[in-house]
Chains A and B, each alone.
Chain A
Amino acid sequence: MNDASQEKLLKLLAIKKLEQPSSNYFQSVESNFHRRLRNRPEPVSFWAGIVDSILGRPSWQYATSAAFAMIALMALSTTYLRNSSGPELASNRPEYLMNEVENMTSKDAETELKHLILTANMPTDKALQASYVLDTIPSAHENTLTF
């Protein structure tokens, strides 16, 4: 993809983000959804039919569930063992996060911490910043007078 195409795609994506549906979209969205479900049944492929016929049996369902439960238990125990092997070095955490955590005293500290972690890697310079327009002189002027 060349630079021109990339820039065009970038513009389209940016504009698409700010699109709004028409005013009557939400009034009919549910009925449209149900209508589509009724009119267009989900096609089932050949292989999906075979897998369904095998896994659809009760005995296979029990076996599959048991296998998933075993895998989940193993994963949990491994994670617990690794975390309990010793305290995490404070120096491994970003300093700004540590300062924030230490200052937390409210019961909502956990919620705040989650929010902090979620936003910690967000580049602040990419936030949409509005500029409010007011020229400091009428938009065109001339330093010499011509006509």
Chain B
Amino acid sequence: MRTPSLSSLTLRLLLAPGIATGFSFLSLTAAEPAKSVFDQVGQEVSSLYDRYKESVVKVKSLTVTAETGLNGQSYEASGFFVDTQGTLLTTASVIRDSDSVWVEIDGKRYDAKIQGFDSRSGLAVLKIPYQSKPLPMASQEKLNIGSAVVSIGFPYNLPSSPTFGFVAGFDTQYKDSFFITTHIRANLAISPGQAGSPVMTPDGKVIGMLVAGMDDGKISYALPSSAIKKIREDMQAHNGQARHAWVGVGVTASSPGVADNRTVRVHQIYAGTPAEKSDIRPGDVILKIGRFEIFKPSDVIDASFYARVGEPINITVMRDGRVVESSLTLATRPVTNPVVEKVPSMMAPGPSAPDRFQLGNKAP
């Protein structure tokens, strides 16, 4: 019989406790019930909230008129930082015609400077003297229906809280109204005060900003990050103003469609617009706007929204069976355009006046 050497014995003695511990760990792990998917989701949301809650702030404004008296009327919403210098994004609805805008962090007031305001997209950019922790932005293009999203915001006058949901759609229309660009529809449960909250992927990247909620807050709409990027670039180039492109064409859906079932027909040409000077005529079927192929009316929306004022654009139409191409320079969409309607906001008062509380009942 071979006698084990000293080094072999020493090695066995050293390994034995480790192996024993490993077996006991494995047996314990096997005995412990696996965490449910709900626990895992809860942990993820909780972790995300802890990491990014400091980047989301409460935005307040005060409007003083003869009707409000000296106390004024205050509005509250949420916002989030996008750089380390105190720049934040929020909903334009909280700014409106206010006389004073500020951000509240841990009960302290920071007076805000309005760097940009665009009522058409609902985006406002503020800056406060504060060393902020920004949220990273990402493109929404990788999202699918069913992608998980998280939002952090301030419902009513409560502390900030996270909300978890899924992407439910990418819409250009709600009931009979067309949006100015494709919005992300998510089934995040939100409350008044959460407008301006970031909508994030589970890894904390902002893919949109909450701008509206309907159906008692069960459906929420977010302005996508690509639209935010476009508006911010406009604001930086034009002293805080967003410039929306304007050709001057009214379109309608035609039936049946022509040329690969394309259904967008020119309905109206507005006077004094680039369209009037071009070769576009009422009755033309639109095939292409810039690089965007047009098949249905909603295709026009993004083609128009992402176009830039002053840039040339080619518009291809079909007239009497032949293709006609027009080249024109985009003008600035008039602010007083009668077809753009400012929607009344749902302004829910605080818990002190529950009888006046209304939610989602003003949608057209």
Chain B residues contacting A140 (CB-CB under 8 Å) are 119-122, 180, 340-343
Closest to B270 in A: A146
In contact, A130 and B183 (Cβ under 8 angstroms): no
Chain B residues contacting A44 (CB-CB under 8 Å) are none
Report which of A11, A133, A141, A143 forms a contact with B180, defined as CB distance below 8 A: A141
Question: Cα distance A7–B62 when bound, in Å?
Answer: 14
Question: Cα distance A82–B64 when bound, in Å?
Answer: 46
Report which of A128, A130, A134 forms a contact with B157, defined as CB distance below 8 A: A130
A-B pair count, CB < 8 Å, reads 204
Answer whether A139 and B75 are a contact pair too, CB < 8 Å, given A133-B195, A146-B250, A147-B251. no
In contact, B221 and A18 (Cβ under 8 angstroms): no
Q: Name the distance in Å between A96's Cβ and chain B's nearest Cβ.
A: 19
In contact, A138 and B212 (Cβ under 8 angstroms): yes
Q: Which residues of chain A from 13 to 44 have any CB-CB distance to chain B below 8 Å in the complex?
A: 13-15, 17-18, 20, 23
Q: Which residues of chain A from 76 to 116 have any CB-CB distance to chain B below 8 Å in the complex?
A: none
Q: Check if B84 is an interface residue, CB within 8 A of chain A.
A: no
Q: Check if B301 is an interface residue, CB within 8 A of chain A.
A: yes
Q: Check if A10 is an interface residue, CB within 8 A of chain B.
A: yes
Q: Name the distance in Å between A86's Cβ and chain B's nearest Cβ.
A: 41
- What DSSP secondary structure best describes chain A's contact surface? mixed
Chain A residues contacting B361 (CB-CB under 8 Å) are 136
In contact, B250 and A11 (Cβ under 8 angstroms): no
Chain A residues contacting B77 (CB-CB under 8 Å) are 132-134
Chain B interface residue number, banded: 35 or more
In contact, A133 and B192 (Cβ under 8 angstroms): yes
Chain B residues contacting A145 (CB-CB under 8 Å) are 178, 250-252, 297, 300-301
Question: Cα distance A49–B178 when bound, in Å?
Answer: 80
Chain A residues contacting B349 (CB-CB under 8 Å) are 129-132
Report which of A11, A18, A137, A146 forms a contact with B363, defined as CB distance below 8 A: A137
Among the listed stretches B9-17, B27-35, B41-49, B89-97, which one makes contact with chain A, having 4 or more residues with CB under 8 Å of it?
Answer: B89-97
Chain A residues contacting B62 (CB-CB under 8 Å) are 14-15, 18
Closest to B157 in A: A130
In contact, A141 and B250 (Cβ under 8 angstroms): no
In contact, A134 and B212 (Cβ under 8 angstroms): yes
Question: Cα distance A147–B303 when bound, in Å?
Answer: 9
Q: Name the distance in Å between A46's Cβ and chain B's nearest Cβ.
A: 41
Closest to B294 in A: A147
In contact, A128 and B247 (Cβ under 8 angstroms): no
Q: Name the distance in Å between B156's Cβ and chain A's nearest Cβ.
A: 5
Answer whether A134 and B195 are a contact pair too, CB < 8 Å, given A127-B71, A143-B341. yes
In contact, A132 and B76 (Cβ under 8 angstroms): yes
Answer whether A10 and B70 are a contact pair too, CB < 8 Å, given A136-B212, A136-B360. yes
8 tightest CB-CB pairs across the interface, nearest first? A147-B304, A132-B193, A132-B192, A139-B122, A141-B177, A131-B347, A133-B77, A14-B64
The residues of A with any CB-CB pair to B shorter than 8 Å are 7, 10-11, 13-15, 17-18, 20, 23, 126-147
Q: 20 additional contacts, CB 8 Å, given A15-B62, A20-B109?
A: A7-B65, A14-B62, A126-B69, A129-B349, A131-B347, A131-B350, A132-B191, A133-B76, A133-B195, A134-B193, A134-B212, A136-B212, A138-B122, A138-B174, A139-B92, A139-B212, A142-B340, A143-B177, A144-B250, A147-B289
Q: Please name 18 pairs of A and B residues whose Cβ atoms are closer than 8 Å in the assembled complex, sorted by A.
A: A13-B70, A14-B64, A18-B62, A128-B72, A129-B353, A131-B350, A135-B195, A136-B214, A138-B183, A138-B212, A139-B93, A139-B211, A140-B120, A141-B343, A144-B339, A146-B249, A146-B268, A147-B289
